Structures are given as structure tokens and as C-alpha cells.
Copies of this chain bind each other. A is one copy, B any other.
Amino acid sequence: MVGGGQLARMTHEAGIPLGIGFRLLSDTPQDSAAKVVNEVVVGDYRDLDTLRAFARGCDVITFDHEHVPTGHLLTLQEEGLTVRPGPHALVYAQDKGRMRARLTELGVPCPRHRLVADPADVERFATREAGGFPVVLKTVRGGYDGKGVWVVGSAAEAAEPFKAGVPVLAEEKVDFARELAANVVRSPHGQAVAYPVVESVQVAGVCDTVIAPAPGLAPELALAAQELALRVAKELDVVGHLAVELFETRDGRVLVNELAMRPHNSGHWTQDGAVTSQFANHLRAVLDLPLGDPRPRAPWTVMANVLGGDFPDMYPAYLHCMARDPQLKIHMYAKDVKPGRKVGHVTTYGEDLAEVRERARHAADYLRGVIDE
């Protein structure tokens, strides 16, 4: 797996019972995953020779993030290495402009959008196509967790996104009721499974809480979202986990927000809440093993991200949360605490959503240090 973040850490964890040999390409020996994996290669994923040396002897190459240059992956593939998801699919998770173009071609509902050239062009898009300001601007490559995304209220505010010299995509700002995610996993010969559609609560552009399944979601809309995600996976020839982030509009439709072709924050609840976790199924898919059952194990599962707060030492809070709630499942990433950085998550499950949600919320807030009782 290329990338040493928490997704690789948790994928390795899921690979241990499967008996899978796991090799990691990590930026540093201190990355989250590098601390727990036996076979770690430290190097730069942007360097083709590093990638090539890392990949030699691997049955399959997969990813913790989407930042590996598409051209390098095409080269590896031409040299006979197995890359999953393949670069022809992954490019749609790497480049938001190509993603929007392809989904629109497939008739998949998306926010109104267009590549824009400059602030004046943003103004034209806003007034003629998007029903007015505010609109959303995104660099087509390199963004995550709200980075590379701007909500602008006028052409005057639209200068910043163009400074990076990367193409900029403009999108209407959807007046959504809430955000959902439809997560599916697909294997090379086309077997696929769909997890229950979840609600994803975002705070300041960062995923805060995920509720599985999405409360009160109309069954026909849940089914439509799963079918949409399965269709996208098939049409783009995705292999592995595909997260389709969705807007649920106030008039009962879903629009695609983002795609991710790797384990995803909206699927962390599956570690404790589903028969087979997203991490195990991602591995099973990229290794062309039969997929595991995606069904939930409890009526409700809630995942809350633990963000770094003002206190670098989380140990006292960690003790408190374990003592307070013996059923709490804590997942720490062994990352240095920095304010706002994702350093772990907690999951809770049970029959009463309000209680399950409150337990997760309390633990995440206590670990962050925003409450102390």
C-alpha cells in the first residue's frame, strides 16, 4: 500500500487475520502506518524509481491516498505490475474535473459545474449557470478535508483558487438537507457489495460524525444511492472500496459530491459495526478474493472523529473514556496531536440511536479536550 496514513494502518490491521503479507511505502518511519507494519519502505511516492523498487515483488499495489501521479501508475502497469484500482479508474478520484465530466456523461446526477478560467469566468458561471453566488471552487487535484475548496460569494473573492496554477472547477452550492455516503466494494471480476448508506455530518469541511444507517432515509432513496454507487464502480471499473459522497437535496434527490477509491472516513464505522469492515473488503477486492458480508451487526453504529485539541497529551482522556464506557471502541492513529488534525476515531453501537450517538459524541469531545466532564 502506498501511503503511511491511518487508512494504511487500519488496512494492515484488517490484513493480519487474512494472513496477508503487507508492504508499505511511507514518507517517514514515523507515519501512522509505518509504526505498526513489518515491511516498510521509506520514500517519496512522487518518484517513479522509488515506486518501482517498492512495487517489485508485490502481487498488487493499492493506495492510502489519491496523490500518486497517474502517469507513474500507467508506467508501472505497462511494466507488468498490478495496480488496483487501476489508473484508468483512479484518475476520476484524482481529478475532479474529469470526474464531473465522466459522471455527467453517464447521466449520474451532479451539482451544476464547469471548469473556470479566472474570476470573471466564475462570475459568468455563477450568474448564468448556477443560479447566482455563492458558488464552490475546487482545484481539480490535490484537495482533501476541505483543503483546495473555497465557497465564494463574489468574483472578488475568487482570486485565491487560481493562484496554484491548477485547473479550477466551479460548482453550484447545493442547498442540501444533509450529506450521505454510499460505500461499495468491487472486485476485478465484478463481484460487488454495498454497505448501508450512512449520514455524514461535516463540521468546517471535515467529517465529524457518521451514522449508520442514515436515520430516516427513505428506503427507495437508500436503494437508489446504493445502485448509483454500484453503477459508478462498474462504469469506471473501480477495484476496491469506492466511497460516493452525496448531497441529499431538500426535494429528495441525491447528487454526487466526491468520489474516493480507497477506504474512507465514512466507512470507519464498519470496523465495529459491520460483519466485514471496509478495510478487509478493500483488501479482499484488490487481491481478487471473494468479498465479505457488508451487513451491519447492530441497529445503529455511530463513528465520531477525534480531532487534536489544545492538549498534546491525550492519555488521561483516553483512560477516562475507557473507564466511563467499557463498550466504547477507540481507534487511535498514533499521530502527534495538532489542533484540528484527525488523530483517531471512536465507534459505538446499540439499539437506541440517541444514546449511541451521545456516547460517541461524548468520547470524541472528551478526547479532544472540549469537555472535561
Contact of A322 among B21, B36, B40, B292 (CB under 8 A): B292
Band of interface residues on A: 35 or more
Q: Mark A251-278, 1 if CB is under 8 A from B, else 0.
A: 0000000000000000000010001100
Q: Which residues of B contact A289 (CB under 8 A)?
A: 318-319, 322
Contact of A9 among B16, B18, B35, B331 (CB under 8 A): B16
Cα-based distance from A289 to B35 in the complex (angstroms): 21
Q: Mark A1-42, 1 if CB is under 8 A from B, else 0.
A: 000000001101100111101100000000000111110100
Please indicate which of the listed interface residues A34, A36, A329, A331 has the most CB atoms of chain B within 10 Å of its own CB: A36
Whole-angstrom distance from the CB of A295 to the nearest CB of chain B?
Answer: 8
The reply to whether B17 and A330 form a contact with Cβ atoms under 8 Å apart is yes
* Count of this chain's copies in the oligomeric assembly: 2
The reply to whether A18 and B330 form a contact with Cβ atoms under 8 Å apart is yes
Q: Which residue of B lies closest to A326 (CB)?
A: B293
The reply to whether B19 and A344 form a contact with Cβ atoms under 8 Å apart is yes
Within 8 A of B (CB), among A289-344: 289-293, 297, 318-319, 322-323, 326-327, 329-334, 344
Q: Which residues of B contact A318 (CB under 8 A)?
A: 19, 289
Q: Which residue of B lies closest to A343 (CB)?
A: B19
Q: Which residue of B lies closest to A345 (CB)?
A: B17
Contact of A16 among B12, B284, B291, B327 (CB under 8 A): B12
The reply to whether A332 and B275 form a contact with Cβ atoms under 8 Å apart is no
Cα-based distance from A35 to B19 in the complex (angstroms): 10
Q: Which residue of B lies closest to A15 (CB)?
A: B36
Q: Which residues of B contact A323 (CB under 8 A)?
A: 290
- CB contact under 8 A between A21 and B334, given known A16-B36, A290-B319, A319-B289: yes
Q: Which residues of B contact A290 (CB under 8 A)?
A: 319, 322-323, 326
Whole-angstrom distance from the CB of A101 to the nearest CB of chain B?
Answer: 36
The reply to whether B38 and A332 form a contact with Cβ atoms under 8 Å apart is no
The reply to whether B19 and A334 form a contact with Cβ atoms under 8 Å apart is yes
Whole-angstrom distance from the CB of A258 to the nearest CB of chain B?
Answer: 26
Whole-angstrom distance from the CB of A302 to the nearest CB of chain B?
Answer: 15
Contact of A38 among B38, B292, B327, B330 (CB under 8 A): B38
Whole-angstrom distance from the CB of A198 to the nearest CB of chain B?
Answer: 20
Whole-angstrom distance from the CB of A107 to the nearest CB of chain B?
Answer: 31
Within 8 A of B (CB), among A351-373: none
- CB contact under 8 A between A329 and B16, given known A38-B34, A290-B323, A319-B290: no
The reply to whether A17 and B13 form a contact with Cβ atoms under 8 Å apart is yes
Q: Which residues of B contact A12 (CB under 8 A)?
A: 16, 36
The reply to whether B297 and A18 form a contact with Cβ atoms under 8 Å apart is no
A-B residue pairs in contact (CB < 8 Å), sample of 18: A10-B16, A10-B17, A12-B16, A13-B16, A13-B17, A17-B331, A17-B332, A19-B333, A19-B334, A36-B37, A38-B38, A275-B326, A276-B326, A284-B322, A289-B319, A290-B319, A292-B327, A297-B297
Known: A37-B38, A292-B322. 13 other contacts (CB 8 A): A13-B16, A17-B271, A17-B332, A19-B330, A19-B333, A19-B344, A21-B334, A22-B36, A36-B38, A275-B327, A289-B322, A291-B326, A292-B327
A-B complex: 8 closest residue pairs judged by Cβ atoms: A19-B332, A290-B323, A290-B322, A293-B326, A17-B331, A13-B16, A293-B327, A19-B334
